[in-house]
Amino acid sequence: MRLSIIIKVTGGILRVFGLMFLWPMAVVAYYEEWTDLGGFALAGVLAASIGQAMWLAGREREPDLRRIEALAVVAGTWLVVALLGSVPYLWVGLAPVDAVFESMSGFTTTGATIFTDFSLFGRGLLFWRSLTQWLGGMGVITLFVAILPRLAMGVGRIFFAEAPGPTDEKLTPHIRQTAVVLWRLYAGLTLAEFLALWVAGMPVYDSLCHAMTTLAAGGFSPHALSIAGYDNAAVEWIICVFMFVAGVNFALQYRALLGRPGVLVRDEEFRAYTGIVLVAALLVTGFLWHAGGELTVAFRHGLFQTLSILTTTGYASVDFQLWSDQTRIILLGLMFIGGCAGSAAGGPKVIRHVLIGRYTLTELRRTLHPRGVLPVKIGGKVVPDGVMRTVLVFFLFYVLMFALCVMAVVLLGTDLITGISATMATLGNVGPGLGQVGPMANYGHLHPLSKLVLTGAMWIGRLEILTVLALLRPEVWRSAHWRTPARG
Amino acid sequence: MQIIIIGGGEIGYALAKTLASDHELCVLDTEPGVADRFGLLDVELLTGSGTSSSLLERARVSTCDLLIGCTGLDEVNIVACSIGSQLGCRRTICFVSKEDFVHTPEGRESLNEHFGIDQVVWPEAQLADAIERIIMAPGSVDAGVFVGGEIRLLEFRLGSDSPLVGRPISALDLPYGVVIVAVHHGETTSIPHGRTVLDPGDKVVLMGTRKGMKALQGQLAPDAAKRRLRRVTIIGGGDVGLRLAQHLDSEPGIQLCVVEHDHARGEMLAATLGNALILEGDGTDLSLLESEEIGRSDVLVSVIDNDERNLLACLIGRQLGVGSVITRVSTPANLRLFERVGIDVALSARGAAVASVLHQIDGGRSSLLAVLEEGQAKVIELTVPTGFPATALRNLGVPNGAIIGSIVRGGQVIVPRGEDRIEPGDHLLVCATGSSAEEIRELFTTGQ
């Protein structure tokens, strides 16, 4: 592992990242909330100068990334980006732990918040909060791969290391072109939602923020009561549609949009995803209806909350903390599924569940036919053993991480429901949990150490765990050196 | 006719044996050793590669009427045919065993266009298709389909309790649209007439419409037609096994199991086939066959590249209780032997391919559709010439050794009776033994 290259590539990304702070500054200027301007300016200058310094420090002329170096770049970039992103929060007076929590929650598209009183914060800051999710939704690195013409050789490695779920689809022969295509699609969908929400009667500013956080499957809302605060059925239906879209593999959507809608039906993950949405939504609707609600309203909230939790968006159209245990356990279960690989959604991903299911059935079949050749197949194609193994290991670590975080959070003094759901909601990048971190509550009252643990959970959850864990191997650091020794 | 045969293997020898007396033959092989066998035949033998143009010129390729590439290597056959046609050979026939480009009609066309190959013969595919038809027609022994599946040919071995036994054919209650076109009794095959009485143990060949055949199967093999899910085991996932498995895999109502000893090949099969169970192991491994309950299969097909092992696998299967066993035979001499020791159907890929090539060389306006009982009888298609006067079938004077099984007229299939008329433009499917095929062909030629 060559540190100079990691520094160089990370720096290259950071200095461009600094430009992102211009957007909230424009919003600040528009609404003339000049007190917040300093935070963004400071953060922008910091990012650009640190990035430039790192770029210069890593003096490799033609950086080519090896696999482990790409992992380090991804993990490092996300961490530094989240830290720099917390500067505006610090500026308005948040405690450092809270600021980092909020920033990480933004970039990882979690949507868990420590904000209690939204009226304390200006529109610029709330816009920044939504923008962080939008940037994180398609992937910070995907964005910079798209923007920067020649970041490094082997940039494909970081591209895929960041991509959510086991996917390695290249839509075009060039990785950069793929990144551009994905970002265009993402931006186009965001624009479509923005216009739809605006037409449906939401204010322009709110429409923009919600469009960004829906497509990112993030869930931050500039409204303290989330979507429930608008009390507008049309808005909820529109958001339902775009949450569903945000949970679908963007590469698949791109191919479907190219005029081959059949690929959607043939895709096993998409079918499973749609099935889960329908079954869960109908179950929730049934329970709500049974508890004495009007059927159409029950269905609207049932579908909305199912999509919001499954796609790990985390909006609330209603305070589902007040729902029955039957419905809440369904929502908790959905947190453990997540959206499709290659989408903006978090969680363990539908495809991994499908794979684990297939694998289990195959192993059962193997006991009946000990000498059978029984491969696991998806869409008629054999899943290589190596992929299957990483999926299994991913689940093991996911469960292990989950258990460790729950232990930590509960030991630090929360109740069990809160601890379990808060961990699930942060590790899966969902956002709101149940109990004291329910949709109308927030994470602000947790122990500072708990907040740190959960911040880590968000980071690890977004980068899909193994990426980060691989970096903890001692041999990675033993072999770390500043620069490649000159070859004789 | 001047004919060049590239390759002196089984196929080359079988072709040469039949063709040598009437045609001017030149056989090319890289092995001088084949001379032992070909020495007895009246052929010219050249040693060397069929892909060498100088050798082909020595074989007088520029004046030759037909070049047949039938070595064991597809590539050699293709190149030899291609060079042959470049050098002026009038017609080329190429044998292939596995090449993917013959899978599609476009692939075949491109062979013709780019390589100058007039006809591709793919014995393995023909064999796999034949086995598939047998499996898909429960209770029958051999089968063929013509006219896009509208007409079927089934061969049944009669049990002592068969409803067809013991009465003259004219008194049988056959479904409408079905006619018995050949009877195989003991060692001889004959064309039946109304007074023929069938005995238990005979094999009868029936031709009929799809609907009529379905009704017939219900009569003759009520058990097999009723059973919905049928278990099929294929031993050996080679070229034939894979092709067969691919066809059966998607078939509803068939539970397929393929036994393949090679690990990598097994994985390939498992990747290709969606539903079939692939077992890694030897088809003659008794403990494997027992633990997987292969004995409960309705059909066991053994298509390994080794006659003896095929026989062994089939006999073990039979011992374990498999309903019927089918095997492939490479050495034609084994055909009769295998059926004698209890294999229900033994098929030779090369035998059928050779017969079809031979027919093309000799046949005039008719085309051969199927060969029954190793050439004792064959099914041919004739076209009634335009000038032919419309005649009732009974007045036509069809020779004794031939029977008109069906008439195809403008896409419609008629299974004729005595009063039906034969009209110009009709396509006739005729089953004939020995020289009767020539006689009936003459009948329509003279009428012109």
Local confidence pLDDT in tens for the 488 residues of chain A = 778 888 888 888 888 889 999 999 999 999 988 888 999 999 999 999 999 999 888 766 666 777 778 778 888 888 899 999 999 999 988 899 999 999 999 999 998 998 888 878 889 999 999 999 999 888 777 777 766 655 555 556 666 666 665 655 666 667 777 888 888 999 999 999 999 999 999 999 999 999 999 999 988 998 888 899 898 999 999 999 999 999 998 888 888 888 778 888 888 889 999 999 999 999 999 999 998 888 999 999 999 999 999 999 989 999 988 899 999 999 999 999 998 888 888 888 898 899 999 999 999 999 988 888 898 888 888 888 888 888 888 889 899 999 999 999 999 989 999 999 999 999 999 988 898 998 888 898 999 999 999 999 998 888 876 666 777 788 878 877 776 555 43
Partner-chain contact A371 B270, CB within 8 Å = no
pLDDT at residue B365 in the model: 46
Tokens describing residue A346: 């978090």
Strands B151-157 and B427-433: unpaired
| Distance (Å) from the alpha carbon of B307 to chain A's nearest alpha carbon | 25
Of A266, A358, A371, which to mutate for an interface test with B (greatest number of B Cβ within 10 Å)?
Answer: A371
Complex ipTM: 0.71
Partner-chain contact B271 A377, CB within 8 Å = yes
CB-based contact A179:A142 (threshold 8 Å): yes
How big is chain A by its Cα radius of gyration, in Å? 22
Amino acid at site A384: P
**N-to-C CA span, chain A:** 20
Q: Which residues of B touch A369 (CB under 8 A)?
A: 277, 279, 292
Q: Which residues of A touch B267 (CB under 8 A)?
A: 373, 375, 382
pLDDT digits (tens, 9 = 90+) for B37-94: 888 888 888 898 888 889 988 888 889 989 999 888 888 998 999 999 989 888 888 8
Q: Which residues of B touch A380 (CB under 8 A)?
A: 274
Question: What is the C-alpha to C-alpha distance for residues B303 and B258, in angstroms, rounded to an integer?
Answer: 11
Same fold, B126-225 and B360-446: yes
- Assigned superfamily of B360-446: Regulator of K+ conductance, C-terminal domain (3.30.70.1450)
pLDDT at residue B163 in the model: 79
Q: Which residues of A touch B278 (CB under 8 A)?
A: 372-374
Identity of the residue in A370, A375, A381 whose CB atom sits nearest the CB atom of B267? A375
Per-window interface: B 277-336 vs A, CB < 8 A: 277-281, 288, 291-292
pLDDT at residue A488 in the model: 39
Instruction: Look at the alpha carbons of A397, A400, A404, A406 in this order and tell me if their dihedral is positive or negative.
Output: positive
Tokens describing residue A2: 């060559």
- Assigned superfamily of B2-121: NAD(P)-binding Rossmann-like Domain (3.40.50.720)
Identity of the residue in A369, A370, A375 whose CB atom sits nearest the CB atom of B271? A375
| Distance (Å) from the alpha carbon of A362 to chain B's nearest alpha carbon | 11
E-strand ranges in A345-452 read 372-373, 377-378, 381-382
pLDDT digits (tens, 9 = 90+) for B108-166: 667 777 788 888 888 888 788 778 877 877 666 666 666 666 787 887 777 777 778 88
Among residues A395, A362, A88, B359, the alpha carbon closest in space to that of A98 is found at A88
| Distance (Å) from the alpha carbon of B291 to chain A's nearest alpha carbon | 8
- B236-351 adopts what CATH topology? Rossmann fold (3.40.50)
Partner-chain contact B274 A382, CB within 8 Å = no
Strands B66-69 and B92-95: parallel
| Distance (Å) from the alpha carbon of A383 to chain B's nearest alpha carbon | 9
Partner-chain contact A372 B277, CB within 8 Å = yes
CB-based contact A250:A339 (threshold 8 Å): no
| Distance (Å) from the alpha carbon of B306 to chain A's nearest alpha carbon | 23
Bridge-partner residues for A268, per DSSP?
none
Tell me whether A367 touches chain B (CB under 8 Å): no
**N-to-C CA span, chain B:** 26
Identity of the residue in A371, A372, A380 whose CB atom sits nearest the CB atom of B274? A380
For chain B, the structural domain boundaries read 2-121, 126-225, 236-351, 360-446
Tell me whether A382 touches chain B (CB under 8 Å): yes
Of B256, B292, B296, which to mutate for an interface test with A (greatest number of A Cβ within 10 Å)?
Answer: B292
- B330-360 burial, b at 16+ Cβ within 10 Å, e below that, comes to eeeebbeebeeeebbbbbbbbbbbbbbbbbe
pLDDT at residue B4 in the model: 92
Q: What is the dihedral of CA B336, B342, B344, B349, to 10 degrees?
A: -40
| Distance (Å) from the alpha carbon of B288 to chain A's nearest alpha carbon | 8
pTM of the model: 0.78
Amino acid at site A277: V
CB-based contact B258:B279 (threshold 8 Å): yes
Span B126-225 CATH architecture? 2-Layer Sandwich (3.30)
Stretch (H or E) spanning A338: none
pLDDT along chain B (448 residues), means of 10: 88 84 88 84 88 89 90 89 90 80 65 79 81 73 65 78 81 83 82 84 82 77 62 90 88 88 92 90 89 88 90 91 86 79 80 72 61 74 82 83 85 81 85 80 68
Question: What is the C-alpha to C-alpha distance for residues A86 and A132, in angstroms, rounded to an integer?
Answer: 10
- DSSP character for B197? B
Strand order through the sheet with B151-157: B142-146, B151-157, B203-209, B178-185, B188-190
Partner-chain contact B270 A381, CB within 8 Å = no
- DSSP character for B173? -
Q: B257 to chain A: nearest residue by CA?
A: A372
Q: Which residues of B touch A381 (CB under 8 A)?
A: 271
Q: Which residues of A touch B279 (CB under 8 A)?
A: 369, 371-373
Question: What is the C-alpha to C-alpha distance for residues B84 and A85, in angstroms, rounded to an integer?
Answer: 75
Query: Around Cβ A486, how many Cβ atoms within 10 Å?
Result: 5
How many contacts, defined by CB atoms under 8 Å, are there between A and B?
35
Tell me whether B145 touches chain A (CB under 8 Å): no
DSSP letters spanning A149-215: TTS-BTHHHHHHHHSSSS----SSSSHHHHHHHHHHHHHHHHHHHHHHHHHTT--HHHHHHHHHHHH
| Distance (Å) from the alpha carbon of A100 to chain B's nearest alpha carbon | 48
Tell me whether A373 touches chain B (CB under 8 Å): yes
Tell me whether B434 touches chain A (CB under 8 Å): no
pLDDT at residue A97 in the model: 94
Question: What is the C-alpha to C-alpha distance for residues B34 and B12, in angstroms, rounded to an integer?
Answer: 10
pLDDT at residue B364 in the model: 46
Partner-chain contact A373 B291, CB within 8 Å = no
Helix segments in B221-258, DSSP class H: 222-226, 239-249
Of B265, B291, B294, B296, which to mutate for an interface test with A (greatest number of A Cβ within 10 Å)?
Answer: B291
